[in-house]
Structure 1
């Protein structure tokens, strides 16, 4: 598979200036670009929110259906917190300057039922490099019933996608823990992201073992030890994933599927006319920059522009470097897409889904 290339000559002065100013912020304030105490405390909290409810359920001491669902839903919030606020930084290598620690914390992705190898290839390699570019960005390469790009073939069913998309957002992590990781692993082998046959086999075995382990401690053990019918426990398990799926999908999709966002096409020479950093500004949106609570909960991903520009910087620093990024962009005439609230971003996301379905 041939991926596009970005211009190395366009906006070079802007790129150098932006990078210089961000480096200066950390140098002047004698700060590390990695995790701070707040980030470490969040890590402990999110891991606890996920694991403690499942441990309580596996002990068989819960006798109320209401408590069953409550504990699973709490675990769902912890799962989303791990996904957005722990493993995300770790797999980007921004959690720590210790690569072993990053790798270890990256395995929290496996711990919540997904797979760190597949995520790294889909998110770090394809999405971050080729944001909103058809075929190359796997985050917009959706099944036929979802149209997330104006360059994708349109069907009559897309007229209603703004209604039914929420169901698929909800079940997204259920798809993740069942079939998606396997499908993606085979796809990445076929397009050359996994070249070695031995490596592919090892990753496939590792993926299968992690999946089996997840199902055992997240579903099988509670079903065995709790005094409820299996279908009730299964329904609570599904509710946990509905919470996680909706949270994660909304946060990631509203950053890129928005009115005014660019979906670049590749020219005949296989190139994108813009510099890679400028491309990130054109294809990404921030939202709710003043909401510290939301930002803390979703791993700073309301500052998606800063994240895409500097994925090697831990998300706890995005709020501080955002004014630097914004002022520099506006100074050089680069658009800085931003929505004042999360609700407003969701509303605009719906408008974009309607527009893509017309």
Structure 2
């Protein structure tokens, strides 16, 4: 039996807003300001620039040949891959086109073909996150794995896993160097599952990406140079991706199923915004407006900055805590949280001493 392709996360996905509800009032203000209108021109320019930079990176690979200067190109392509991933993210939220099919196609091209990540797998995972941000039981982004984000999830960890959790605040950034590899492995696992609509296209473009990537590197460079290039490019790609997503929710309040919190407050209270100007917007792909993005996932990226004063004023008016901080402070808060989660596992060692 085939599975249907995961649905794009279009609109905010809460239950329909009841007339007169807080969220309905905020939606009215946002829509009346025209902040949900498509920004196709912006995305056309964004995708064109990314395509030029992507092509320029691979042209540089051919021109440099078997040289250690290729590691500079590897770093450049790590940045380009992440910028492409941001556009794939926006396509997954139906921000670019009015057509679902065009958004899916854009997402598959950016994800499976350009950077080697399964767009369908990501949609399924990301939909669950948006519906249950920082929910200890239902948000896949806080499920225990190499890192543990909820103290009760650290219970019973033994051996290497125990040491990893105790030390995770110190290992967080080094571990992000493996995030690119982790995303590729998760994509492969997802693509090997029973097929559904568009799965054949996903598999074909993913295989084309991997085959092209490996072939180009081995054709231009020695195996040693190729391995070093891939390690640097994929490592920095994972680091950049992790550093872009980590400030959004890590260290913010978590929720349980029993917590009765409406959609509006659930999204605002569990999200953290990052202060900054247009450079921050570019570097973080608009994810620095995490509150606005979670309230209105289909809002085009360039409208997030314009929506911030409207939403921040609304939260102040309704007494809802709206949290915003600097980028480096956000990392510190996330690391402090990771350190606190591992504290129970460190106590026996301290007591024995």
Q: What secondary structure is seen at the aligned counterpart in 1 of 2:308?
A: helix
1:122 to 105, 117, 125: 125
1:163 to 161, 166, 170: 170
| Alignment match, 1:69 | 71
> 2:14–2:131: 8 Å Cα contact kept in structure 1?
no
| Alignment match, 2:346 | none
How far apart, CA to CA, are the structure 2 residues paired with 1:54 and 1:96?
28
2:196 matches 1:199: yes
C-alpha deviations, 1:69-127, integer Å up to 9, x for none? 1222211111000112x11111111112133331221121112100110011011x211
> 2:68–2:225: 8 Å Cα contact kept in structure 1?
no
TM-score normalised per structure 2: 0.84
How far apart, CA to CA, are the structure 1 residues paired with 2:309 and 2:241?
25
2:54 matches 1:50: yes
1:101-250 matches, cutoff 5 A: 101-107=102-108, 108-111=110-113, 112-123=115-126, 125-143=127-145, 145-154=146-155, 155=157, 156-157=162-163, 158-177=165-184, 179-184=185-190, 199=196, 203=199, 205-224=200-219, 226=220, 228-250=221-243
| Alignment match, 1:311 | 297
How far apart, CA to CA, are the structure 1 residues paired with 2:82 and 2:254?
28
Structure 1: runs of 5 or more not aligned: 190-196
C-alpha deviations, 1:28-77, integer Å up to 9, x for none? xxx662225333222212232223312442xx432362431122221111
TM-aligned CA distance change 1:38 to 1:66, over 3 Å: farther
Structure 2: runs of 5 or more not aligned: 1-12, 344-353
Q: Is the deviation greater in 145-154 or in 166-175?
A: 145-154
TM-score normalised per structure 1: 0.83
2:272 matches 1:278: no
How far apart, CA to CA, are the structure 2 residues paired with 1:113 and 1:51?
16
| CA RMSD across the alignment | 2.5
| Alignment match, 2:274 | 287
